[in-house]
Amino acid sequence: MLKNLIDRFQLEKECTPSHINELLDFLQKAYISGQLSIVEYKMIFSELDKQNAEKPVFYF
C-alpha cells in the first residue's frame, strides 16, 4: 500500500518525496478529499507511523 502512495505522489507532484513526513501530508490530503477509504488510510498510516512519520508541532 505504501508503494502505491509513493507512486501516486510521484505522478501528481512529478518528483519523489524527500521525507516520510511528505507522504503523511499527502496521505491525509488524499483521505480528506475522498480519494482513500478509512480502511486504506489506517493501513497506510500504520506503515508511515512505523517509520516515525509525524506532523510538525506549531507553537503560537
The stretch 54-58 carries a mean pLDDT of 77
The answer to whether residue 26 is domain-embedded is yes
Give 58's pLDDT tier (boundaries 50, 70, 90): low
Give 56's pLDDT tier (boundaries 50, 70, 90): confident
Question: What is the span of the domain harbouring residue 36?
Answer: 2-50
Number of domains making up the chain: 1
The answer to whether residue 60 is domain-embedded is no
The answer to whether residue 37 is domain-embedded is yes
The answer to whether residue 55 is domain-embedded is no
Predicted TM-score (pTM) of this structure: 0.86
The answer to whether residue 15 is domain-embedded is yes
DSSP the chain: -HHHHHHHHHHHHSS--SSHHHHHHHHHHHHHTTSS-HHHHHHHHHHHHHTT--PPPP--
The answer to whether residue 7 is domain-embedded is yes
pLDDT digits (tens, 9 = 90+) for 6-46: 999 999 999 999 999 999 999 999 999 999 999 999 999 99
